[in-house]
Amino acid sequence: MKAVVTVMLKAGVLDPQGKAIGQALAHLGFAGVGEVRAGKVIELELAETDPVAAKNAAESMARKLLANTVIESFRVDLS
Helix spans in 28-79 (H): 51-61
Q: What is the C-alpha to C-alpha distance for residues 13 and 1, in angstroms, rounded to an integer?
A: 33
Q: What is the C-alpha to C-alpha distance for residues 47 and 31, in angstroms, rounded to an integer?
A: 45
> May I ask the CATH architecture of the domain 2-78?
2-Layer Sandwich (3.30)
pLDDT the model gives residue 42: 98
CB 73 within 8 A of CB 67: yes
pTM of structure? 0.91
Q: Give domain limits for the chain.
A: 2-78
The model's pLDDT over 5-64, given as tens digits with 9 standing for 90+, comes to 999 999 999 999 999 999 999 999 999 999 999 999 999 999 999 999 999 999 999 999
